[in-house]
Structure 1
Amino acid sequence: MKLVWSPETASKAYIDTVKSCEAFQDSSVAELVSAMAAGWNAKLIVETWSQGGAIATSIGLAVASLHTGGRHVCVVPDEESASEYAEAMGKAGMSPEVVAGEPEEVMEGLVGVDFLVVDCRRGDFARVLRAAKLGQRGAVLACKNASARGTADFRWRSVVEGGGSRRRLVRSVFLPVEKGLDIAHVAAAGGSSTGKEKGRWVKHVDRQSGEEYVIRK
């Protein structure tokens, strides 16, 4: 089985996220990842967060999980971050699962990830990507605040396929949304990275903000 795109579900999640994030000035990434997670019908949605981070993306992913009937889990570095995150999400009327700990240990218990969003402002974001136990249908991986990587050498293929992993990179795209959003589509175990998968990336322009989004259809 492969991830199958549903434009209708993506549209509904996008609209609901726009409504839920009206109070946040920077919510473009939240709306985009929400639509993508819902459109791919992600059943296990995982994100990373640390103290002081924006909460809009988390709200968007929570909205997506409601549309897919899936599970939304947030990985934080410590209990203090967990408390702050839970409080912020509670004010938004949402209560996703929160797990604190080292990336390798936490991700070991999250098997079958369909959609993963990491924050590049966390120094361990690459470790989270490598440790993720992706689903048999493949997965979509996203790095928000990608500009925070600075001049560090980052290559999707080395993260996705390194260390003898059977995961295969299908394609990736960088979007200049907010502080940068880097997205990769990873094939299921044993899948091909030749780019011959059916589907294509399409550009969408938000009529209100004028921002451009690219979504695989």
Structure 2
Amino acid sequence: MKLVWSPETASKAYIDTVKSCEIFLESGVAELVSAMAAGWNAKFIVETWTQGGPIATSVGLAVASRHTGGRHACVVPDDRSRSEYLQALGEFSSVAGIAPPDVLVGEPEEVMESLAGADFMVVDCKRKDFARFLRVAELSHRGAVLVCKNASSKNAAGFRWRRVVVDGGSRRLVRSVFLPVGNGLDIAHVGAIGGGGGSSRPAKGEGKWIKHVDQRSGEEHVIRK
């Protein structure tokens, strides 16, 4: 079993998020990740949030989880952040008709043990430990979509997906792309275990083409492996 895209569900989540987040007047990150999570029919959405950060992305992911009937969890650094997060999100829960996510406090290695099976993750690069969440995450056997928001921040300098995704061959990077949305979105698709992400194998003697976009210059590089 692998991730299957549903344009109809993605469109519904996008429109609902636009209505719910119109007060924020932000760059469209919330709408995009909401459409992606819903379109991929995510059953377990995990995100990270930092104190003082915008709440729009969480609203969008909550909207997506409502459309997919999935679980939504958010990891915050401390109890003070947890209170601030729930208060900010609570203002929109009744209006948008969304349920607040499960909120966990702790270090990546601690909390991610209880969040096994995530098939859609959004981490904030403003957190210095954002890569640790990706590295220790036990992803869904059907594959996952991983999103780094604020990917243009200094904490993300030098970040490479292959350093956190490839794990003994069981977590295969199918493709990745950098989008100039908000402060940058770095997105990766990890294939299903044993399924290769649904892509066909190259014929014998043929190489595999890999596309990489430089986060700083925006240049696109295509290499053959």
Q: TM-score, structure 1 length as denominator?
A: 0.86
User: Any runs of at least 4 consecutive aligned residues in structure 1 with deviations exceeding 3 A, and if so which?
Assistant: 193-197
Shifted more, 130-139 versus 11-20: the winner is: 130-139
Q: Residues 94-147 of structure 1, C-alpha deviation per residue, up to 9 Å, x if partnerless? A: 421100001111011111101000000000100000111100110000000000
Q: Which residue is 2:187 aligned to?
A: 183
Cα offset for 1:149?
3.6
CA 1:135 to 1:194, structure 2 compared with 1: closer, same or farther past 3 Å? Answer: closer
Q: Which residue is 2:116 aligned to?
A: 111
Larger strand proportion of the pair: 1
Return the alpha-carbon distance in structure 2 between the equivalents of residues 193 and 157 of structure 1: 16
Q: Which residue is 1:61 aligned to?
A: 61
CA 1:109 to 1:150, structure 2 compared with 1: closer, same or farther past 3 Å? Answer: closer
Cα offset for 1:15?
0.1
Cα offset for 1:152?
2.5
Return the alpha-carbon distance in structure 1 between the equivalents of residues 156 and 117 of structure 2: 32
Cα RMSD after superposing both structures: 1.6
Q: Is the 8 A contact 1:46 1:116 kept in 2?
A: yes
Cα offset for 1:192?
2.8
Q: Which residue is 1:213 aligned to?
A: none
Q: Is the 8 A contact 2:125 2:155 kept in 1?
A: no
Listed as ranges, the gaps of 5+ residues in structure 1 are 198-217
CA 1:195 to 1:173, structure 2 compared with 1: closer, same or farther past 3 Å? Answer: farther
SS at 1:75 equivalent: strand
SS at 1:47 equivalent: strand
Question: Given the alignment of the two structures, is residue 76 of structure 1 paired with residue 76 of structure 2, yes or no?
Answer: yes
The count of residues paired between Structure 1 and Structure 2 equals 196
Larger Rg: 2
Q: TM-score, structure 2 length as denominator?
A: 0.83
